[in-house]
A and B are shown apart, each in its own frame.
Chain A
C-alpha cells in the first residue's frame, strides 16, 4: 500500500497543478509522502500528541534537537495532513455533488420526457392491437358528457402480474387518456380499504367482490360491474380439458359498461318463461354479453302470472321454446304488440311442435312459423356435410344496409321455414332477413322423405306494422322478427364462426332494429380481438422438431460444457 502511494505522487502533483495549487503545497505533499515512505521502511510511526505533557530529555542522552525544530516538524506534518484531509474532503464533496448533479439531470430528462411526450412515443405492437381502443369506443368517449369512474377492486400490481389480464392496466389507461378527463381509472385494494365497497355501492345491491371492475357514472349513479371472465372469451380444449382463450372481449365489456351507466334511459328486454325456453346464461352467453354491452337490461317474463307485459318492455323475446304459448298468453302478447310493443320469436332446434298461438301473435305482422324444416341442397352452402346446417345469406334490408358485405355467410342450424302470410296491406312491411340459396328446400312436417321443390327458403323475416289503431287514430308502429333458429346467435355457432361470419353483426342489428335502438345513436358493436396463435404452421412432421429440440437442449450445451472442461484441464496443467 505504501508503494501505491509512492506511485501516486506524480499524478497527485499533476492534479494539484490542475487545481491551481501553488508549488509550495505540492512540495509539502511530496515531502509528506516521502516522510511516510521513510517511516514505512523502518522508522516507527508515532502520532503527534499535542496534549501530552512535554517530557524532559533523559540525563546522559545525546543532545536533543532544539524544541522549536521538533515543534516546527510536527506543525509541518499537521499542516500537511490537514491539507490532505482538506483535499480528500474537497474531492468527496466534488464527487457527491457531481453524483447528485447527474441524478438530478437524469431525473429531469426522464420526467420531462414522460410529461412532454408521455405515451405519444409508445406504440401498441401487438398483432391484435390488444391495448388500443377501436373507433367505436373512441366515438363513445368523445360523446361522453358526464364523469365516469372505473374502479378495479384490487391492486394494479395484481392485475399487471396476471398472466391473462396483464394488458388491462394499459388498456384502462387508454380510456382515461382518450376521454378528455371524463373517465377516471383507480385501483383500490379492498383488503387495505374495505370501505370502498360501501363507497361504490352503499346499499350493497351488487354484492361487490375483490377482482371486479366497477364502472359508475357520477350523473346517473348507475353502476355496472364487469368481472374478469367478461374480459376474455374462453373455450374448453377437449384434448387438455383446460380453458383456452379464444378472444379478448375487454373493449366491448368496458365500453359497453360505460355506455350503459351513462344512458339516460335503459331499454329493457323481457324473455318469456314457462315454455322450456333456453336461458341466456345456459347456451347464449355471447348473446347475453351483446345485450349487456349495448346497454340493454334483461328480465324474465312469466305471462301466466303477469297481468300484462310490463310497460317498460322495449321488446319481448321468446327464445327457443319447446312448447307453444297458451291462448291467454298469446292474447296478452297481442295486446302488447298492438299497443306498440315489439316481439321476436326465435325458434329452437326443429321439432314437430306446432306454434299455433305464437302464430296468432305473429299474424299481425304477416308472419308465420311453419311446420317445415329448411334444408339446403347446394353442397357448397352446407356446413359439416349436413344439409340442415345451412350457410345462408342476408338480402339487402334496413337492418343489413350498411354492414353487410355481399355473400357474407351466416351459419344457421336446423331451422324452421318462416312463412310470409299472403295478406298484403299497406301498413305491414315484411322483409326477408335470412334465406337459403335458390337450391334450398323444405322437409314438410320435418319428414325427410317429403321434400319440397327447390327454391329460396326464408329462415327469418322481419316485419313492421304501422297500422295499429287506438279507436280511429293510428297510434304507433310495432316490429316483429320471426327467426327460424336461435342458433344464429347461440354459443355453439358463435364460438365457431366468431366475428368473421355475419351472425354476430346481424344479431346486433336485429336487436337494435327491434327495440328502435337504431335511432338512439348508441351503436356499439365491438368485436372480440383475436388471440395471436403461436402454433407452427409448417410443422407437418414432428420428427424434425424433435431433432431440433434435442440439438438445442442437449447437443449444444454439451459441447459448451466439454469446452469448459477442456479449458479447466488446460489451466490445471499450466
Chain B
C-alpha cells in the first residue's frame, strides 16, 4: 500500500510538473463550461446532457493521460529502476493506474462547479444527474485501464495514444458493426437454409442474438442505460470487470517482461 501511494503520488504530481496536466484540465473545463454556459445564459442547465457531451472528449483526453505511464518509462530506461524497486508489479501498475485516475477525477470534479451553480439557481439536480456522473467516472476508469495496458505494450507514446484512440473509437462503432454482423448471420442462415427448415423468425432471432452478444461486451453500449436514467448494478460490475481485466493484463505483461530471459 505504501508503495502504491508513493507511485500514485509520483505519477499524479508528474502531470503537474509538466504543462500537460494543466492543459488537460484546462481543455476539459473549457469544453464542458462552453456547453454549460451556452445553456446557462438561457436559464437552462442539464448536467446529465453535459456529461454525455463531455464523454466524447474521452477519445482524446484519456489516451493523452495514459500514453506516458509505461511507454515513457520504457523509452527513458527508468522502467528497470521501477521494476527493481521493492514494489511488486501489481503495486506498480495500481500506482500508475490510480495516478492517471486521480487526474481524471480532478478533471471530472470541475463539473461539480456547474452542479453547484445549477442548484443555486433552482435547476434540476436529480438522480439522473448523479447516475450519469457515476457512469461518466466509471467509464473513464475503464478507459484508463485500457489506455494503461496499451501504454505498457510500446515505448512510443504516440503509438500508445493512437492505438488507444482507435480502440475507443472502435467501441463506439462496435454497436453498428454488431448490427451488421447480426444481419449477416440472419442473411447467411436464410441463404443456407435452402429447404426452409428454419423459420425466418428463428433466423432473425439468431442474428439478434449475435448482435446482442457483441453489444454485451461493449462498454460504450452498456453505459448508455445510465444516460437514459436507468441505474443498474450489472453495468457497474461489468465496468469493474473491464478495469480488473486490463490491469491484470498489464501486470501479466510486465511480469513476463520482468522475469523473461533472452
Measured CB to CB, the residues of A under 8 A from B are: 4-5, 7-8, 11-12, 15, 33, 84, 87-88, 91-92, 95, 98-99, 102-103, 106, 109-110, 113-114, 117-119, 121-127, 130-131, 155-157, 160-161, 166-167, 170, 186-189, 192-193, 195, 199, 532-539, 542, 545-546, 548-550, 552-553, 556-557, 560-561, 563-565, 567-568, 571
Contact = CB atoms under 8 A, between A and B. Distances in A.
Contacts, number: 208
B204 interface: yes
A122 B231 contact: yes
Given A103-B245, A192-B186, A552-B114, A87 B261 contact: yes
A121 B16 contact: no
B124 A557 contact: no
Nearest to B116: A548
Contacts of A131: 228-230
Given A7-B80, A553-B30, A553-B33, A567 B18 contact: yes
Given A117-B233, A537-B122, A564-B23, A88 B114 contact: no
B26 A124 contact: no
A119 B233 CA distance: 9
Contacts of B186: 192-193
A91 B260 contact: yes
A199 B204 CA distance: 12
Of A95, A533, A550, chain B has the most CB atoms within 10 Å of the CB of A95
Nearest to A92: B256
Given A91-B255, A534-B44, 20 more contacts: A7-B84, A15-B259, A98-B252, A113-B234, A122-B231, A125-B127, A127-B127, A186-B204, A186-B205, A533-B124, A535-B43, A536-B40, A538-B121, A539-B122, A548-B40, A552-B113, A552-B117, A560-B26, A561-B22, A571-B17
Interface stretch (B58-66, B94-102, B236-244): B236-244
12 contacts: A5-B261, A8-B261, A119-B232, A123-B230, A125-B127, A170-B230, A192-B186, A536-B44, A538-B121, A545-B41, A552-B33, A561-B23
Nearest to B180: A192
A549 B22 contact: no
Interface residues of B, number: 75
B73 interface: no
Given A124-B229, A125-B127, A560-B25, A538 B120 contact: yes
B225 interface: yes
Given A99-B252, A193-B183, A561-B22, A110 B30 contact: no
A157 B177 CA distance: 10
Contacts of A106: 241, 244-245
B122 A91 contact: no
Contacts of B46: 534
A125 B230 contact: yes
B248 interface: yes
A11 B248 CA distance: 21
A99 B46 CA distance: 42
A110 B238 contact: yes
B228 A170 contact: yes
B173 to A, nearest CB: 11
B259 A536 contact: no
B128 interface: yes
Contacts of B36: 549, 552-553
Contacts of A119: 232
B167 to A, nearest CB: 17
Interface in B53-91: 80, 84
A143 B221 CA distance: 34
Contacts of A537: 121-123
A490 B38 CA distance: 37
A20 to B, nearest CB: 16
